[in-house]
Each structure stands twice: as structure tokens, then as C-alpha cells.
Structure 1
Amino acid sequence: MSDAWGMTPLNWRDPAEVRHRLVTGADPNARSFALRATPLHEAVTTHAPGDVVDVLVAHGADVDAADAEGATPLREAVRWGNRSAAEALLRAGADPWRPAIAGRSPGRLGLDGPLTDLFAGLAGAPSISVQERDRQTRADALIASYEWEGYWDGLDLAFVVAVDEDELIGRLGAEPARCPLTDSPFREMAEDPHADWAGDEAEDEDDGEPEYSPMDFEAWVARRDGGAVLIGAAASSDSLCARLSVGTRLATVFFNLKGSCYVYCWADGRRVRQSEPADYPADPWPQEWLHRFGHHAHASSHEARALAFITAYTGVRIDEQWLIHAPKRGVPRTGA
């Protein structure tokens, strides 16, 4: 986030530095260029303590200012789990029930996270039904079930509804008879994260079966309850996803080598959603709410949120042991 007070670095955790800026003429309600964030937004998202909020408020900062996406400082404090700042904003009169992004207030967001105690007893707190609580509990359990070691390294996963292995292989343009059962591409990475797929030959004794290297294949396919799973870079191709999702639904997650991940949902040949677990969608689907997209205060990885979300969308579920150890059908590289 760019500094609303210009490009000069600012230590938002130091109340004295913030106070000095204010008394020397800085505008407590200045706006950053793109997101239209105020100094209060800047402070709470960089985990500034409540003392900094107090200083800004004392100099006239608007506690309910909304940025370009509709987020108030209190909503950002809740999203980032900044308890000290949230407490200070509430003391200063910030409205916990003011509708923010997609109509959900900071307090409503807070009631589903680690700051619940700050909002549960406030006047105007909404009643959350047992059914809502149960849905959130189940979603959190699904997220937790996907908290694995990171084997991703740029590979993609796609879950396809109600399609078996042979049909999925055919939609990939390959012949099922030429797609042998082989080790999961994740097995070697799990056993040795630094393994060179194109390097050492297998040390297993020759049992008469052909030996394959992950380098022989461009994708892997395997059946799961509710459909099938596609592993490999091909899963992020728009033209391929359009073809694979004709007459059904598909969700794919792309794991970026830089550490981020992206989710794409398809239905009957058309992409219907693009999202990122690290960011809060401007117009979120209910399942994105449930699976903690953009909720930095929640103790879960972006990868786990993404996998839980695509499971919720497709009904296809995998587990770590299956991903690493269950054999998969290897789809040979073009021309192989």
C-alpha cells in the first residue's frame, strides 16, 4: 500500500514520528492515489499500535473514512487482526456495524475471527444462527485439512466434476491407452524437495515394468469421488479449461513460484470466477467468505484456503497421502 503522506518511509509503529508529521502540517485525512487509503488505513494494515490511532484521531482523522473499495480503518484492523488498533478505533467511535465491502460490516467480519470478543457484546451486534456457525466450522475444518507441506513449485491442480479418467484424458487430446499408471509427480518432491526430475535414474530393482520419470509427462490424471483431478501446468490454460468444463464444472488453482496462488472456476466451457485467497474480493461469493479469502487474521495458508474453496465448488476432495503416494495416469508430452 502506498503511503498517503507521500513516498518518504514512515514508521507507523512510532507514535512520536506520526505526531511530528502531524504537527508539521501532514493531513490526517490525506488519500493515497489509487486505493484512496487514509493514514488510518495505512497504520492499521502495518500493525501500528493503538497509540498511533489515538494520535491520528486526536488530530482529526476520520475513523469511518472508506477507501476506494469501501473498507473503513476498523474493517482493515479486523481483517489484519490488529487488536490494539481495533480497540482504539472503537474507543474513538468507529462504527462497527457500518456496511463495508459487499455489505458486510467490520463487526460482522470480526465475529468470525480472533477479535470476536471485541464485538460480541456491542449494541447492535447481529445474531448469528447455529446454521451459520456450523457452516463456518465446517469450512474452517476443510481449510485445516489442507494445511500441508508446500510441494507446489508452480504445478497446478484442477478438480473436474463427474468426469472419469478416460474421459478427462480424451478431453486433453490424448489416448487413454497411451497414459500409463505411474508415480505421483509429488512423490519425488515430498521425499526430496531438491530432487532433479531429469537427473538420477531410479535405484529400484528391475521388476520388468517400464520405468518412468516425471519428465516423461506433461500432466497426470486420477479419479476421485465426485470426479477427477488433473495435475500439471496444463490446468491453467484457459482454452483447455474451457474444453474440460463443457457440460460440467471445473475449478483450478495455480501455485505461483513467488508464493501466491490463484483460483479459477469454470462452468460449461465458461470461466465464471477468478479469485485470489490473499485478497478480499470486491464482490465475494459466499464460499469465499467462508473460506477466509483476504482474511489475514485467520491462521491459515493461502494454499489451504484455495484448495478448500475449489473442493466446496466441485465436491472433489483430496488428501495429502493420496496426492503424494497414490499412482496417477501420466499423460505423455506432445510428440512423446
Structure 2
Amino acid sequence: MAAADEAGWFNIAWNEWTDLGQIRAQLDAGADPNSGVRIFEKPLHVAAERGSPEVVTELAMRVDGVDAEHRGRTALWMAVFEGRTDNVRALVSAGADPWRLMMGGWSPGRLNLAGPTPDLFSLPSPEVGLSEAEAAAAAEARRLIPALGDFYYEGLSLACTADVSAAEAIARLDATSADDADIDALYEAARWNIPDADLIVGITDVPGGCVITQPWGHTPSTPGVAERVSPGTVCYSMYANPKGGSGRYVARDGAVITTWEPHSAYTVPLDALAEEILAAYLYRNHPVAFCCAGAELRLTDTRPLIGPPDMWLRLPDRDWWK
């Protein structure tokens, strides 16, 4: 635990932002209530995300402005995005403005309308509410996330492609049937001894398009796959690397870009589009559902993701990273 006589925030651990005594001691010792936290800079923003409402209230009384922004967002934005309703209430009680416009034209209050507690604030006017498209996106998130449920997806890679059938995707990838492959061996450590293990993928037709998966490798998440299946449409792909982190690409009409992960308010770029911000909020900590929703695939269960797929395929032997 950080010593109270060490002015500053450097030694405050992430799990100590709920400890009012510790935070108050740091402040009394000279820690700046307005700045100085590693990476995230502003103490109130960190407390809003991971602290207790008592700590949030204490910091809110000491900062120069409760609605001060960092990286284009206020502390109230952080609390709303992270689903910290207790901290939201503490910030509003301290004078934070729920309807202050910021990233992508969103305000914390308007973003909250798409979440699980839409009645948390009183609307200043009907025009502030969600558009029809935004309300539909929120409704789909409330359907899709429970439909997929909680399942183990470490090591899984996938490519969710809109408006393309499995048959069309097979043709675009120049893939062939892999019915002769020993699939049981691929699921085990023996796959390291199978020369074409990385080229074996599963594919399944789903409402809205198709899903390409590989439970043991990263191939469906590569730029080469996304580029080849996405002409005229969009493909969202990801790889849940068991060693940590994940690769993620979005391809639109054959053009591949690297995208960000919707697991924290701080991963949303300042220049993100309004619909991207909404998707990141709706699917925070649900990266698989995020990919499905991005391609507008209306899955009803996890079978297309964790198998068995409709068909096992063998991809051509090429550099799929190009």
C-alpha cells in the first residue's frame, strides 16, 4: 500500500481506488486531485471507472471541475460506459452534467439511454432520445448477448461476414472440403504435428451471412481472409489469443483496417464515429458478440462459433497475412 506521505498517485494500485481512507490520505499528503495518475491522468476518471462512490464523491469535492475532460470524455462518461451506476449517481449529485455533448455527439445521458438503466436521467427534451436505428441497435444487443451467453472462447478465431452465404465464401477463398481431416486430432495437442492444421477452418450459414471459425488458430482472423470474403460487404474478424490480447480486423469491400477492442472506455478513439461508439458501449467485454453485430449476423446460439460447423474446409496454402 502506498505511504500517505508520498505525494502523488504513482503507488496507488488499481484495486485501491475503492479505499476512501487511502485516497483521502493521499490527497491530504499533497496528491493532485486533477492529474498525475499513470496512463489515465485524471484521478476522478479512474475512480469513476473502478472506484467506489465514496471515493468519487471525495474527489469530486476537490477537483477544479467535475466535468473536466480527458481524451474527450468526462468522468461521468467513464462511469456510464463502464456500467457503474453507483458512481454515476455520485457524480450527478456532485454536479456533473449528463447531457454535456462530447465524443461523436454523444452525451453520457444519451449513451445511457441505450444501456440497462435507461431511466436513470430525466430527458431534457424528446429530441435528445435515441434515433430509431440506435434504439434498434440497443435492442439487438439485449437479444444477442444473452443468446450467445457465457462460453469459453480463448484460442478461437472467427470471421463474421455479412450477406455472403457459406457457398459464396468458399468460392471466394478457393477453399475445398476437408472431410478427410482428423478433426479430433486438430482439437488436441497433436495439431502441432499436422502440417496443414492452420489451413483447416469451419464454416456455417447463419441469419444474415456466414461465420468462418478455427478453434485452434488465428487463420480466419487474418487480413487475407477478411479481404477475400468482403468485396461488396463487410467482415468483422478476431482472434482471442490465449497468450493475451487479440487481433482484430474489419474489412469493407475488400479494404482491411485494424480496429480497436470494445473492452474499455479508453479504447474508443476520440475520432470514432457515433455508431462505433454506440457499438463499443453495447458490446463492452463481449468481443465475439461485437463481431457478430458488426456484420449484422443474428445468431441464436453458439453452435456456429464453437461447433460443430456446417462444413470443414481446407484453405489454399498461401500467406494469409497478406
Question: Scaled by the length of structure 1, what TM-score is found?
Answer: 0.73
Alignment-derived partner of residue 115 in structure 2: 113
Q: Which residue of 2 aligns with 1:221?
A: 203
Task: Say which SS state the counterpart of residue 325 (structure 1) adopts.
Answer: coil
2:222 pairs with 1:237? yes
Query: Retained in 2: the 8 A contact 1:47–1:82?
Result: no
Correspondence 1:8 to 2:14: no
Measured in 2, the distance between the counterparts of 1:55 and 1:106 equals 21
Distance between the aligned counterparts of 1:265 and 1:285, measured in 2?
15
Percent of residue pairs identical:
29
- In 1, the alpha carbon distance for the partners of 2:171 and 2:155 equals 24
Cα offsets for 1:156-194 (capped at 9, x unmatched): 1113345454553444344x3xx2447996x899xxxxx
Q: Structure 2 matches for 1:1-336, cutoff 5 A?
A: 5-9=8-12, 11-32=16-37, 34-35=39-40, 37-49=41-53, 51-67=54-70, 69-119=71-121, 121=122, 123=124, 127-128=128-129, 131=132, 132-150=134-152, 152-165=153-166, 167-174=168-175, 176=176, 179-181=177-179, 196=188, 198=190, 215=197, 218-224=200-206, 226-232=208-214, 233-258=218-243, 260-261=245-246, 263-272=248-257, 274-280=259-265, 281-282=268-269, 283-291=271-279, 293-294=280-281, 301-312=285-296, 315=297, 317=299, 319-323=301-305, 324-331=307-314, 334=317
Root-mean-square deviation (CA), in Å? 3.7
- The one-letter code sitting in structure 2 at the alignment partner of 1:254 is Y
1:115: Cα distance to partner? 4.2
Question: Does the 8 Å CA contact 1:159/1:250 hold for their aligned counterparts?
Answer: yes
Deviations 1:2-49 (A, max 9, x none): xx93421252222222222222222211244654x3111121222222
Q: Secondary structure at the match of 1:116?
A: coil
Task: For structure 2, list consecutive stretches of 5 or more residues without a partner in the other structure.
Answer: 1-6
Q: Deviations over 1:90-119 (max 9, x none)?
A: 122111111122221111122222443431
| Aligned-partner Cα distance in 1 for 2:159–2:167 | 16
Partner of 1:207: none
Q: Which has the larger radius of gyration?
A: 1
How many aligned positions are there?
300
User: Counterparts of 2:272 and 2:91 in 1: how far apart (Å)?
Assistant: 25
Q: Would the aligned equivalents of 1:197 and 1:215 in 2 still touch at CA under 8 Å?
A: no
Aligned to 1:203: none
Q: Are the structure 2 counterparts of residues 125 and 331 from structure 1 closer, same or farther at C-alpha, using a change threshold of 3 Å?
A: same
The normalised TM-score by structure 2 is 0.75
